[in-house]
């Protein structure tokens, strides 16, 4: 592939994306596109989910990694490749390298989820755990590249990576030719840039909307400044888009072709993940659920038909458990309440009886009797309840107060 100046619009073209699509034939899946009745009713127009969570390795990352590694010169392949990632990019590089017969070394943070570490190894990469945060891991990978001559495979800041990710855009137009809006999560910007190149070249009327987590939204200030701006400490549960600075190459494309970049809260991400699981029967990681979160946050703000790109589904089971509980709480379907009662035989049974009257499902009970804040005959109980929504939460609280219980907070 041939490219112009990095950061310019001409550095990745439609022909590059089409070339990447040919290269990926038989390697990456043309992932399914599923309609969502619930989201369609909410938005008032057809909404389709582009299921990159069902891609090989569980995310879109294989596309760009394969194109990048396949384009290396023979002597570069012989030197091997190195990458740094907490999950999705690691697995994409590992599988792509294995398919191409290239040795891959992947640096991952010491706290990386065990399922992602195991999967990366199973795809054939040599895994080295280094550092507590991705920045430390990245520095170690770059140092390794300098010492050994291995080619560093960046997760988003390279034209080949962007061209590979852009094949998602070609599939969107093939599967939903009537699309009017594409909504895609944004971290460093490789996926959004690639999709924008492909879609805008063929359908300039289609609106491209990027979505970032509020705590890791590096693009809005960067676009306002006209250059990539670094965040001091990005923080979000959506580790797939937790990037502190836009890539130089994708930044230029996003600035030219992406119509808008929105942000979503952690509550909205949790609710979106829960919706994907319950309504669409799809396991999606928080970063992959970001486009759905944007639809939930402002359903009237999108012209349909809409395609929301579910970029990945590699979510750690423990994180999934926490996020689902967080999502249920955000929707008013999970209630944690503390209250005091007289410490006497049968008091807890009486309390649970009061809850059964209002049809609240008790998930967990914590009973404390020895606390200096409590009187001699008092006990404190913390209840975790499954409820039916905000109105039901209010009903439960009122029923407890009416029964004479002192509700704390």
Would the CA dihedral through 28, 32, 33, 38 be positive or negative?
negative
Q: Would you mind telling me the total number of residues written for the chain in this entry? A: 409
User: What's the half-sphere exposure (Cβ side, CA atoms, 13 Å) at 167?
Assistant: 29
Residues 311, 223: Cα–Cα separation, whole Å = 23
Indicate if 311 belongs to the active site.
yes
Phi, psi of 211 (to 5 degrees): -130, 130
118 in active site: no
SS (H, E, C) 145-194: HHHHCCEECCCCCCHHHHHHHHHHHHHHHHHCCCCCEEEEECCCCHHHHH
Q: How are beta strands 378-386 and 334-342 bridged, if at all?
A: antiparallel
CB atoms within 10 A of CB 216: 23
Sheet containing 334-342: which strands, arranged edge to edge? 361-368, 378-386, 334-342, 406-408
Nearest Cα residue to 213 out of 287, 286, 289, 264: 264
Catalytic residue among 61, 116, 200, 242: 61
Query: Distance (Å, rounded) from C-alpha 12 to C-alpha 301?
Result: 29
Q: How many CB atoms lie within 10 A of CB 75?
A: 8
Residue 222: enclosing H or E segment and its boundaries? Answer: helix 219-225
CA distance 76 to 150: 7
Q: DSSP states of 229-287 as a string?
A: ---SS---S-GGG--SS--HHHHHHHHHH--EEEEE-HHHHHHHHHHHHHTS-----TT
Pick the catalytic residue: 59, 97, 311, 329? 311
Q: How close are the terminal C-alpha atoms of the chain, in Å?
A: 61
Query: Among all residues, which ones are annotated catalytic?
Result: 61, 311
């Amino acid at each position: 592939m041939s490219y112009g100046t990095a950061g310019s619009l001409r550095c990745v073209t439609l022909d590059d994306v089409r070339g990447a699509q040919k290269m990926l034939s038989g390697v990456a899946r043309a992932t399914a596109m599923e309609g969502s009745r619930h989201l369609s009713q909410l938005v008032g127009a057809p909404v389709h989910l582009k299921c990159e969570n069902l891609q090989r390795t569980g995310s879109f990352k294989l596309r760009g990694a394969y194109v990048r590694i396949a384009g290396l010169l023979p002597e570069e392949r012989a030197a091997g490749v190195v990458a740094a990632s907490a999950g999705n990019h690691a697995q994409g590089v590992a599988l792509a390298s294995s398919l191409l017969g290239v040795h891959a070394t992947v640096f991952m943070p010491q706290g990386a989820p065990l399922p992602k570490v195991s999967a990366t190894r199973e795809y054939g990469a040599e895994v080295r755990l280094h550092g507590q945060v991705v920045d430390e891991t990245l520095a170690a990978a770059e140092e390794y590249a300098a010492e050994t001559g291995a080619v560093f495979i960046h997760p988003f800041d390279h034209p080949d990576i962007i061209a590979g990710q852009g094949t998602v855009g070609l599939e969107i137009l093939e599967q939903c030719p009537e699309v009017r809006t594409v909504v895609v999560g944004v971290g460093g910007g490789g996926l959004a840039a690639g999709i924008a190149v492909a879609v805008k070249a063929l359908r300039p009327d289609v609106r491209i909307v990027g979505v970032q987590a509020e705590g890791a939204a590096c693009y809005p200030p960067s676009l306002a400044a006209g250059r990539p701006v670094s965040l001091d400490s990005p923080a979000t549960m959506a580790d797939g888009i937790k990037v502190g600075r836009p890539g130089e190459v994708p930044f230029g494309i996003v600035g030219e072709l992406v119509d808008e970049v929105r942000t979503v809260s952690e509550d909205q991400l949790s609710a979106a993940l829960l919706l994907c699981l319950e309504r669409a029967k799809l396991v999606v990681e928080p970063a992959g659920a970001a486009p759905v979160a944007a639809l939930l946050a402002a359903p009237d703000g999108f012209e349909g038909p809409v395609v929301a790109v579910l970029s990945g589904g590699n979510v750690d089971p423990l994180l999934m458990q926490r996020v689902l509980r967080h999502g249920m709480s955000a929707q008013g379907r999970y209630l944690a309440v503390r209250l005091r009662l007289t410490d006497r035989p049968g008091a807890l049974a009486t309390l649970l009886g009061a809850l059964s009257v209002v049809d609240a499902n008790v998930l967990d009970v914590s009973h404390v009797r020895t606390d200096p804040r409590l009187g001699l005959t008092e006990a404190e109980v913390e209840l975790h309840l499954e409820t039916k929504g905000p109105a039901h939460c209010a009903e439960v609280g009122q029923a407890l107060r009416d029964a004479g219980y002192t509700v704390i907070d």
